[in-house]
Chain A
Amino acid sequence: MTELILFFIFGSLALVGGLTVVAAKNPVHSAMGLMLTLFSLAVFYVVQAAHFVAAVQVIVYAGAVMTLFLFVIMLIGVDKEENLTENIRFQRPLVVLLGLSVVVIGVVVAVGGRFTWVTGPAIAGPEVNGTVEAIGDDLFTVWLLPFEATSLLLIIAAVGALALAFYSPRRRQRSEEDAP
């Protein structure tokens, strides 16, 4: 019962947030909508016993990533006039087609009652419980190589961001003028 109430409250909040991201004129409002969606999903993770993932979702996504987004929006300013005329002819029909196809698939699955198409058979076993202990146990044994690969990825990302921040066309021009 609790899960049902939580699903309806935070499911609708997640949808409102998602629609705000797409529909808001002001990018800051879009960022706030995305934050609402991220928090709602964190609630769903807690409901589904994915405690570690929920904590990481709030700290990394809603905390760090959204701060970065807001920082960049503030940095480059908010341009409210956005030209929405479409240059690619089939892009708008593609959006409509995408929406319609999801509605059709949803109706077919709901009316047909064949949810096993979507999920596969459930396996009898102990309930998963994504505590920090359970995640850590597997992360440093089974998933060790991917874990180390992500550390490499993060270093590359940090170095790449630094390189992009230091590169500027004007500075390169000046150093070329100085060179001869």
Chain B
Amino acid sequence: MTVTVDWYLILAAVLFVIGAAGLLIRRNAIIMFMSIELMLNAVNLTFVSVGRELQNLAGQFAVFFVLVVAAAEVVIGLAIIVSIFRARATASVDELSEMKG
């Protein structure tokens, strides 16, 4: 029994769904953020696995660029969360509902 690429793809799909479920269920902004990171990492795993299967290095470059974008996103997102917390003293996204149309 050898590990084929499908096993990695299924594992990545399950991790992605766990992240998506966390994003939909939780209300704490920081934990929602971590769920997004989980989803990004699941996609990275598929990139590397499929890149190995197709014998193509481009998958690893995709992971590299996803990493850079995720780092930038974390910096800005956490800065926004901190400034919201300073103004509102909460990290719950349901409290931020005054922009109703």
Contact = CB atoms under 8 A, between A and B. Distances in A.
B87 interface: yes
Contact count band on B: 35 or more
Given A21-B22, A99-B17, A150-B69, A115 B55 contact: no
Contacts of A95: 20-21, 24-25
Name which of B6, B26, B34 has the most chain A CB atoms within 10 A of its CB.
B34
20 contacts: A21-B19, A27-B28, A30-B30, A31-B34, A34-B37, A41-B41, A41-B45, A44-B48, A50-B60, A60-B67, A64-B71, A69-B33, A75-B82, A84-B27, A102-B13, A130-B57, A134-B57, A138-B61, A154-B71, A160-B75
B90 A139 contact: no
Contact of B10 (A60, A61, A106): A106
A123 B55 contact: yes
Given A50-B60, A76-B91, A95-B24, 6 more contacts: A45-B48, A50-B48, A50-B63, A91-B25, A125-B55, A150-B69
A173 B64 CA distance: 43
Interface string B9-51: 1110111011111101111101101110110010011001111
B17 to A, nearest CB: 5
Nearest to B19: A18
B74 A65 contact: yes
Interface of A: 3-4, 7, 11, 14-15, 18-19, 21-22, 27, 30-31, 34, 37-38, 41, 44-45, 48-50, 52-53, 56-57, 60-61, 64-65, 68-69, 72-73, 75-76, 79, 82-84, 87, 91-92, 94-95, 98-99, 102, 105-106, 109, 115, 118-120, 122-128, 130, 134-135, 138-139, 143, 146, 150, 153-154, 156-158, 160-161, 164-165, 167-169
8 smallest CB-CB distances across A and B, nearest first, come from A22-B22, A157-B72, A164-B79, A18-B18, A125-B55, A161-B79, A150-B68, A76-B85
Contact of A27 (B30, B75, B94): B30
B18 to A, nearest CB: 4
Chain B contact residues: over half helix, strand or loop, or mixed? helix
A37 to B, nearest CB: 6
B55 to A, nearest CB: 4
A60 B68 CA distance: 9
Contacts of B86: 168
A92 B92 CA distance: 18
A53 B19 contact: no
